[in-house]
Amino acid sequence: MKKLSIVIPHYNSSDSLVRLLNSIPVNDFIEIIIVDDRSSEEHVSVLKQLTEEFLNHHIKLFFNDVGEKSAGAARNIGLEHVTGEWILFADSDDFFTEGFYEVISQYFESDNDIVFFTPTSIYNDTNEVATRHTSYEELVQNYLSQPDWYSEARLRYGYDVPWSKLFRVSFIKTHLIEFDEVIYSNDVMFSLKAGFYAMEFEVSKDVIYCVTRDRGSLTSTVNEETFDIRLGVTIRKYIFLRENLPRKDFEKLELSGRGALMGARQFGLKKVLGVYRALRRHRIKIISLKIFNPMWFLDRYKRVRSKEKELEKYKI
């Protein structure tokens, strides 16, 4: 049996995949599972060539030709074929940092279900540090500096991406944790359920994974289809926590649908009213008491200004 399985969904990104594969050491204890999500024939051809070029990397190649086209469906196919005791998830346009295997292998004999690591990110065109990782980095740092109930809850239920985490495979399979097979936000419920069911976990300041970002993605807008899918996931996340957490703990999280309601404004009044009705129908609070906290407002203002400056700096 392998010690580590690395699952990589792939779609028309064979060029960047080379960088990711080069960041993974040749090791008989590692298997790499690539699941192609209906790429073009050209990219599939290159992908097959790469499996030959990286023969010593123990690559297994599968194709998503049955389920919905999405990274979630591709990851689920990968989960079906893993043979390792532990698993990492990676996107084909990202890469692992140097020495990551030495870092994670220290946890192979532990009792952890999950190990959370500190992520980082860069812009592809400049290699400058980006902001894609900052909210998750903050969750890790807050827990490490003050490991109380609130910082643990935010880490468990707010770190809603699968990368930069080491999972025990038997833990995932015991709890039947899968990715949603939708185009967007397909990793939120997977991450939420993993965080909820984990009995043992550790948090590390070490960086093992780098997310990349293209400059053009900064100015991309969310269309209505994307918004609707994300709204559905947000509602499911809220309901899961409300139904599974003790009422006192759920109330302490101060969750609300305010963000969804604000996001609906770009699609007009009719959309706002529709979202409002959906939130009310699912008994989701519209506002949270934390909006009356001046420190919360200050923090939000700083975040917005930071994003505005970033957009100005990388404006196309």
CATH superfamily name and code, 4-217: Spore Coat Polysaccharide Biosynthesis Protein SpsA; Chain A (3.90.550.10)
- Summarize the chain as % helix, strand, coil (round to 5): 50, 15, 35
- pLDDT at residue 286 in the model: 87
Residue 61 and residue 17 in contact, taking contact as beta carbons nearer than 8 Å: no
Extended beta strands in 198-257, E state:
201-203, 209-213
Beta carbons within 10 angstroms of residue 293's beta carbon: 12
- pLDDT at residue 36 in the model: 95
- pLDDT at residue 66 in the model: 77
For the chain, give every domain's residue range: 4-217, 224-313
- pLDDT at residue 289 in the model: 57
Each residue's pLDDT tens digit, 107-138: 999 999 999 999 999 998 888 999 899 999 99
CA distance 24 to 20: 7
Residue 214 and residue 122 in contact, taking contact as beta carbons nearer than 8 Å: no
β-bridge pairing 209-213 and 120-123 = parallel
Edge-first strand listing for the sheet containing 95-96: 95-96, 209-213, 120-123
Residues 23, 25, 29, 33, CA torsion sign: positive
- pLDDT at residue 307 in the model: 52
- pLDDT at residue 314 in the model: 44
Q: Can you list the residues of the chain whose pLDDT is less than 50?
A: 218-219, 292, 296-297, 308, 311, 314-316
- pLDDT at residue 139 in the model: 98
Each residue's pLDDT tens digit, 147-177: 999 999 999 999 999 999 999 999 999 999 9
CA angle 96, 112, 4 (to 5 degrees): 40
Q: What are the C-alpha distances in Å from 187 to residues 33, 72, 106, 160, 295? A: 18, 7, 26, 7, 30
189 contacts: CB under 8 Å, gap ≥ 6: 179, 180, 233, 236, 237, 240
CA distance 271 to 284: 17
- pLDDT at residue 295 in the model: 58
- pLDDT at residue 222 in the model: 76
Please provide residue 106's backbone torsions phi and psi, each rounded to the nearest 5 degrees.
-65, -20
